[in-house]
Chain A
Amino acid sequence: MSAQTQPLGAASWWARLRSGAGSSQLGIYVVFVLVVLVSYVVVTAAGGTFNWRNMAVRSVALGIVSVGQTLVILAGSLDLSVAYLVSVSAVLTSFIMDGQAANMPLAIGVVLLVGAVVGAVNGLLITKLRVHPFITTLGTGLVMRGLLSSRFSAQTGQVAPEFSQVLGYGLVGPVPVSVIVFALVAAAAIWMLRSTQFGSHLYAVGGSQEIARLSGVRSDRTLVITHVLCSLTAVLTGLYIAARLRAGAPWVGPDGGYDLESIAAVVLGGTALSGGRGGVGGTVAGVLILAVLDYVFNQLQVDGFLKMVLRGVIIIAAVATYTARSKRASE
């Protein structure tokens, strides 16, 4: 096979990056660099310190689930149930582990299975019953919330100390384990989208279900699998939070705002809410921007309510800029 693989453009990784990433995604990195530079100057001028590791760790929980959210949004869907699934995953992990390292495989296995089931249910409701993703995932989220509150009201059980030490606080050299996990999840998703048939079909389904169907793509199956993958990232975020807090609680998901924040990170990263355009690379930048801003606001001791206002303004401004840019590009 490789014998006839003449370089149609071996040195064109740049073109490939551009065609894969799209212009709005390159833009986000420029924004990211600017945000970091300005933040750095402002924070150091105000006498604060710029702690990279702290910022990276802050972005892990939101980052992992945002990768999954990117996938469903690219496929033309949406997942609002991730926040409660994060809670379910965190609570079940600490409940089943109950402080015993021996229970670790069981706990992780169970929550991954639960995640896969939730994702499959979301996907099947959307594709088979044709319920809008917004309603479907709002509904399954509420169901999870109800089930969780009926059984658990406060911090429940606790995770094995080893689990917490490694995933929550472990370091490989100077790099936190959790950051490595986030990087691996993001890299796997990027590879999948760029270089696999499934990734190609995912973009096609998000671009136009009809075109995908006419081209022989099994769009329903693609959408269900995508939802399963998204739910698994929510489970992973839940595992990380449990490790970090040493125990799970029903409020960790909704309090972290993982549903809407992840969607914000995705669109901030230049992925079209209507599906079919964008990628995980942009989302990672989006998550990092949110984390940097968060850190800066904390360092500058910005009032909590003002912080929300500023984040809202920044998200809207960023997306408005993309729209203006892509409008100009299309003219």
Chain B
Amino acid sequence: MTAHDEQQPLLTLRGISKSFFGNEVLSDIDLDCYRGEVHAIVGENGAGKSTLMKIIAGAYQPDRGTMTLDGEEVTYHLPADAQAKGVSIIYQEFNLLTDRTVAQNIFLGREPRKRFGIDRQKMERDTAELLAMLHVDSISPRQLVGSLSVAQQQMVEIAKALSFDARLLIMDEPTASLSPPEAEALFERVNLLRERGLSILYISHRLKEVFDLSQRITVIKDGRKVDTVLVDDVSPTDLVTMMVGRELSHYYPERARPEELGDVRLRVRGGGNARLRGIDFTIRAGEVVGMAGLEGSGRTEVAQALFGVEPFTEGVVELDGEPVRIRSPRQAIKRGLGYISEDRKSEGLVLVRSITENGGLALETLPSSERRARGVRDKTAAVVADLVDRVDVRAASLDQEVQFLSGGNQQKVVLVKWLATRAKVLIFDEPTRGIDVGAKAGIHDLIRELAREGLAVLMISSELPEVIGMSDRILVMRNGELAGELPAGSSEAEIMLLATGQEERGAAIDEAAAFGVAQQRSADEEARRQEPAASTQEDRA
């Protein structure tokens, strides 16, 4: 059916298996990756994708199975062995030194030499060539990496990978922290590399990317390969079903019914500071208000202003109708706010401390009078133990250090921390970033359940389907201002219009259309969409 059938694959895996401490993480994986293809690897977190990629990149050695590169069987002992064979990997967390220049980073450990010391000119010239090859002209070889944006740093990583004469490039969640236009720029580069004959193994949670970029998709579940499919042969729903092994018809919980909404809990009038202007909105008890906007539009800044990290310097914030001044997180906690931040590892949790300690952290900052006023009578540890049970944190024991929990469970511990204080308003910033599909649903259910109990929830997210699926109302930010408010169930096109501004109207609609109905996952739409997908498959058969 395709040219692939006649071609010999660049990389062939047969029967790759790997265990850690007696747990089989990968069993019997076969994989073929051809020249000039983007081959997506999808699967839930913990499915074994990363382990598999690390084996291909030489960071781990398989227990069983063979790896063939360009017809030759290979075994690696070190990542450098794989690099020498033209296999490079770009991890989600960049391996770049922020205080060194672009050129110094790219040639670290392989600096070209002249008679005395490093041949800096050659190093910088070669760097410039690599960047030019990637059509990147905004980066100079002499710039410090720390002064570059995340997207630019990623380009440096790609240039570094190419500097090894890479034939196979592995990218692990490359768009996780990119804004939509940055991601678009990345896709252009990926296609450019593919056209040059590079093979790219592309790991992503975002199905839209997978469908846009890749030619073939391999699904991995619980350490086994489910299947490898051509991108034209599957629909996103099929793929999700293959990944999680169940239909996702109830992907988002039901929204609030009008009678479930209480009085206005939180009101912001004319809120502003160095980064924000004229912020006006309300959240009622029992309501989940979504906040969308492009990266850098001021979404996180609103959360931080409310929580006193970078407080509002203008305007009024009212809680339950009473004006409050919040100048620090400590005051915010006393007023009954909770902030589940974007970066749970550096802002939400003390990774080396136990679940009990992390869960009790915010409660412990309350004076005992305040604890009594909120009806917290038990000891902190008991409160935490109760809540851990309730939100269903999966852990070996309460004494386990939170660094050893999965992303989803870590997020639940952060939640416990705020629930312990009996917070009235919860602010979620990217609540499901980096959390696998199955655990996402659990977090979504939990957010809705908390709203039902009368909490006011502000949920910031860059995943539009999440905003649409969860919110009772949607606020859209643009350039530090509220661009507008949309009712529940608005389309991605409407959000994108507000987020990008009128002048880009056409482009925004195209962009939104590309997202497609595929990601509108409320129950009825899901059902409607099943039929055409099924019929195309029959046609093919």
Contacts and interface: CB of A to CB of B under 8 A. Distances in A.
A296 to B, nearest CB: 34
Contacts of A301: none
A1 B101 contact: no
Nearest to A276: B99
Contacts of B100: 200, 203-204, 207, 276
Interface string A1-28: 1000111110010011001001000000
Contacts of B97: 203-204, 207-208, 211, 276
A196 B117 contact: yes
Nearest to B141: A8
Pick the most buried of B121, B124, B146: most chain A CB atoms within 10 A of its CB: B121
A215 interface: yes
Nearest to B108: A215
Interface in B97-130: 97-101, 104, 108-111, 113-114, 116-122, 124-125, 128
Contacts of B143: 19
A215 B142 contact: no
Interface string B140-182: 0111101000000000000000000000000000000000000
A12 B120 CA distance: 12
Interface string A248-287: 0000000000000000000000001000110000000000
A201 interface: yes
A217 interface: yes
Nearest to B146: A330
B486 interface: no
A210 B104 CA distance: 16
A215 B89 CA distance: 12
B95 interface: yes
Nearest to A192: B117
A196 B95 contact: no
B96 A211 contact: yes
A216 interface: yes
Contact of B95 (A7, A214, A277): A214
A74 B430 CA distance: 36
Contacts of B141: 8
B110 A216 contact: yes
Interface in A158-196: 191, 195-196
A212 interface: yes
Nearest to B97: A207
Contact of A216 (B80, B96, B128): B80
Contacts of A277: 99
A26 B520 CA distance: 55
A19 B146 CA distance: 11
A187 to B, nearest CB: 14
Contacts of B125: 6, 8
Contact of A8 (B109, B111, B118, B121): B121
A329 to B, nearest CB: 9
Contacts of A217: 108-109
Contacts of B117: 191, 195-197
B121 A215 contact: no
B79 interface: yes
B118 A19 contact: no
Contacts of A330: 146
A197 B111 contact: yes
Nearest to B274: A331
Contacts of B114: 1
Contact of B98 (A15, A200, A207, A216): A207
A220 to B, nearest CB: 14
Contacts of B110: 215-216
A4 to B, nearest CB: 8
A207 B125 CA distance: 24
A196 B113 CA distance: 8
Interface on chain B toward A: helix, strand, loop, or mixed SS?
loop
Contact of B113 (A197, A203, A276): A197
B108 A22 contact: no
Contacts of B120: 195
B77 to A, nearest CB: 13
A273 B121 CA distance: 30
Contacts of B108: 200-201, 204, 211-212, 215, 217
Interface in B352-366: none
Contacts of A19: 101, 142-144
Among B80, B95, B110, max chain A CB count under 10 A is at B95
B134 to A, nearest CB: 18
A278 to B, nearest CB: 9
Given A8-B125, A196-B117, A211 B95 contact: yes
Given A211-B97, A216-B109, A197 B144 contact: no
B432 to A, nearest CB: 28
Contact of A22 (B99, B109, B121): B99
Contact of B128 (A8, A22, A210): A8
Nearest to A23: B144
Nearest to B101: A19
A264 to B, nearest CB: 21
B79 to A, nearest CB: 6
Nearest to B125: A8
Contacts of A6: 125
A207 B95 CA distance: 11
A299 to B, nearest CB: 39
A196 B122 contact: no
A8 B146 CA distance: 22
B95 to A, nearest CB: 5
A207 B109 contact: no
Contact of B142 (A16, A201, A208): A16
- Chain B CB within 10 Å, residue with most, of A12, A19, A203: A19
A8 B121 CA distance: 7
B53 to A, nearest CB: 14
Nearest to A277: B99
A6 B79 CA distance: 34
Contacts of B146: 330
A19 B143 CA distance: 7
A205 B143 CA distance: 20
Contacts of A211: 95-97, 108
B1 to A, nearest CB: 40
A8 B113 CA distance: 17
B118 A195 contact: yes
A55 to B, nearest CB: 32
Closest 3 CB pairs of A and B: A195-B117, A207-B97, A216-B109
Interface of B: 79-80, 95-101, 104, 108-111, 113-114, 116-122, 124-125, 128, 141-144, 146
8 contacts: A200-B104, A201-B109, A207-B100, A210-B95, A211-B97, A214-B79, A216-B110, A277-B99
Given A211-B95, A214-B79, 16 more contacts: A5-B122, A7-B121, A8-B124, A8-B128, A15-B142, A19-B144, A195-B116, A200-B111, A203-B99, A204-B100, A207-B99, A211-B97, A214-B95, A216-B80, A217-B108, A272-B99
